[in-house]
Chain A
């Protein structure tokens, strides 16, 4: 069973601060990694994909991947109250037949004004 672990939080940061969300995974062979944002009562929304070691930046979001440490993170700069949501880490595993995503339990983020 592939495992994806996230700090459950809740994580609470003030507006304008950097929010740091962390995720570890068990399968060293994983190649594709994703961050989803899920507002309460809504479906998950893909916000970042990362496939190679290093940083990937998209606006206020930066995903960081370290395959040797089996660690992926998401940084949110200049956090806004609208960033308050649950963030899900997902790891793709190709498997023997069809691929699938393994999701963590999510980290709840609250950004207070």
Chain B
């Protein structure tokens, strides 16, 4: 266990559904991330939150909406997804700032299937 938990671990949803992915880190970190990993493709960074400030990747469709209520919790709200959004969604956390190691620790991921 890395100290980063994600729920649910598996999710099947229709294209008209709305669902949310949850991530919680117990490491005292101040930065959290959402990544997408599709088969045969490299990890794609979706969103970064550091000290609760969001950096948005402009290539992420608006059907993905992140929320970071505090430094320990991160959500990814999903709506009107497409089949090509089926992937492993990974949450990670790190300590950012002066003298930090910037080591990122990943949660177990949510395997999402859009039907």
A interface residues (Cβ-Cβ under 8 A, vs B) = 32, 34, 36, 42-46, 49, 88, 90, 92, 97-101, 103-106
Contact = CB atoms under 8 A, between A and B. Distances in A.
A32 B108 contact: no
Interface of B: 2, 31, 33, 41-43, 45, 48, 50, 53, 55, 88, 90, 96, 101-109
Contacts of A46: 103-106
6 contacts: A32-B102, A43-B106, A44-B43, A88-B43, A98-B53, A100-B33
B42 A43 contact: no
Given A98-B50, A105-B42, 11 more contacts: A32-B101, A34-B104, A36-B106, A43-B109, A44-B90, A46-B103, A46-B104, A92-B102, A98-B53, A99-B31, A101-B104
List the 10 closest A-B pairs by CB distance, nearest first.
A43-B106, A103-B43, A105-B42, A98-B55, A98-B50, A43-B109, A92-B102, A32-B102, A44-B106, A98-B48
